[in-house]
């Protein structure tokens, strides 16, 4: 069977960042070509994307609304139904590697302080993922909000309810606001893996969790293929997107059509992107620009 490696740099990320996705896909290809499986390849690609400060995952993750806190979400799933995830993990370099260690436990998802302590127990050193780019992105986001609420957004939900959300989720800023990363791999033996890793969106309360660490929402994998999603997490969760698209693959719908149908479930105002690999094909789809790469071998 031909292998396929798909990587993305987030719904609404500029095509100019696709070089980072290409490098990540090449790292995954090196793993496959030296005998590694889909899981190892997907992790290698995701680590490379997390380490690229242009993307909102690992180094370069978004700051929460308080302008100080970084909480990251990541997950990984394989076609033999193994799954591991962390949510709101702090001060680690590569959340996806911690998610992979969760696969070795009886649990699926570990969150918050528990996730950070679990990482330390596994030997992951303390690391500050804050970048100047994330600081200025946060400053621009705050400037954009000025005058739209009259409370303390960091601690109080009420002022958020006055916000014109549709405008804010799509506010024009450069670089763009999301840039989550993910990978999907089919190896030569027909095994699949999918990953997601994110610093979340821009306007986030502390403790907010998106789709990325939720099985069936941000990622899903099974014998028929693998799916990774990116975009507005709350909207992706509402549509149970990754599992919905996977089910179409299982019904025999081609990867490209399944990906397009997945994107079509969202109104135009919601950013969304998908990586999809099936036994026979693969597809990348988004309703925005999306930095991405595909290697088929």
| Cβ nearer to ligand ASP, comparing 90 with 211 | 211
User: Is there binding between residue 79 and ligand ASP (CB under 6 A)?
Assistant: no
CB of 11 to ligand ASP, least distance (A): 6
Annotated catalytic residue, options 7, 46, 116, 180: 180
User: Is there binding between residue 58 and ligand ASP (CB under 6 A)?
Assistant: no
CB 275 within 8 A of CB 256: no
CB 14 within 8 A of CB 175: yes
- Rounded to 10 deg, the angle between the 241-250 and 255-264 helix axes is 150
Binds ligand ASP (CB under 6 A): choice among 4, 6, 11, 141:
11
User: Is there binding between residue 176 and ligand ASP (CB under 6 A)?
Assistant: no
Distances (CA, A) of 262 to 231, 237, 257: 12, 13, 9
Binds ligand ASP (CB under 6 A): choice among 233, 239, 249, 287:
233
Residue 166: how many CB atoms within 10 A of its CB?
Answer: 10
Binds ligand ASP (CB under 6 A): choice among 212, 286, 289, 292:
212
Distances (CA, A) of 238 to 205, 211, 216, 242: 19, 9, 11, 11
Burial grade of 31 (CB within 10 A; 0-12, 13-18, 19 or more): buried
CB of 167 to ligand ASP, least distance (A): 17
* Assigned token pair, 140: 């621009």
CB of 188 to ligand ASP, least distance (A): 29
Binds ligand ASP (CB under 6 A): choice among 9, 10, 58, 84:
10
Residue 7: φ, ψ to 5°: -135, 155
Taking CB under 6 A as the rule, which mask of x and - marks residues 235-274 in contact with ligand ASP?
-x--------------------------------------
C-alpha count within 13 angstroms, C-beta hemisphere, residue 69? 20
* Assigned token pair, 89: 């993990």
User: Is there binding between residue 7 and ligand ASP (CB under 6 A)?
Assistant: no
Which residue from 153, 159, 155, 157 is spatially nearest to 138, judged by alpha carbons? 153
User: Is there binding between residue 178 and ligand ASP (CB under 6 A)?
Assistant: yes
CB 176 within 8 A of CB 144: no
User: Is there binding between residue 198 and ligand ASP (CB under 6 A)?
Assistant: yes
User: Is there binding between residue 95 and ligand ASP (CB under 6 A)?
Assistant: no
Position with the least CB separation from ligand ASP: 233
Q: Is 180 a catalytic residue?
A: yes
Interaction site with ligand ASP (CB under 6 A):
10-11, 178, 180, 198, 200-201, 210-212, 230-233, 236
Catalytic residue positions? 180
């Amino acid at each position: 069977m031909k292998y396929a490696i798909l990587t993305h740099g987030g719904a609404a990320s500029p095509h100019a960042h696709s070089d980072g996705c290409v490098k990540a896909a090449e790292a995954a290809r090196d793993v496959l070509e030296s005998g590694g499986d889909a899981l190892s390849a997907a992790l290698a690609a995701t680590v490379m994307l997390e380490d690229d400060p242009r993307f909102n995952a690992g180094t370069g993750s978004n700051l929460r609304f308080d302008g100080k806190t970084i909480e990251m979400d990541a997950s990984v799933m394989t076609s033999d139904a193994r799954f591991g995830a962390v949510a709101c993990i702090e001060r680690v370099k590569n959340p996806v590697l911690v998610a992979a260690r969760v696969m070795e436990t009886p649990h699926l998802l570990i969150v918050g302080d528990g996730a950070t302590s679990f990482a330390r127990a596994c030997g992951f050193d303390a690391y500050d993922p804050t970048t100047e780019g994330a600081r200025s992105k946060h400053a621009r986001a705050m400037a954009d909000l000025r005058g739209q609420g009259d409370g303390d957004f960091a601690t109080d939900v009420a002022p958020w309810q006055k916000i014109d959300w549709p405008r804010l989720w799509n506010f024009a800023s450069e670089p763009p606001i999301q840039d989550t990363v993910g990978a999907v791999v089919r190896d030569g033996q027909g095994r699949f893996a999918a990953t997601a890793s994110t610093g979340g969106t821009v306007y986030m309360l502390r403790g907010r969790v998106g789709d990325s660490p939720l099985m069936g929402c941000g990622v899903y994998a099974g014998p028929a293929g693998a799916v990774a999603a990116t975009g507005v997490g709350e909207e992706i969760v509402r549509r149970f997107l990754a599992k919905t698209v996977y089910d179409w693959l299982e019904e025999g719908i081609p990867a490209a059509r399944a990906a397009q149908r997945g994107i079509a479930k969202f109104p135009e105002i919601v950013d969304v992107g998908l990586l999809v690999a099936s036994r026979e094909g693969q597809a990348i789809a988004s309703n925005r620009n999306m930095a991405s790469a595909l290697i088929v071998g």
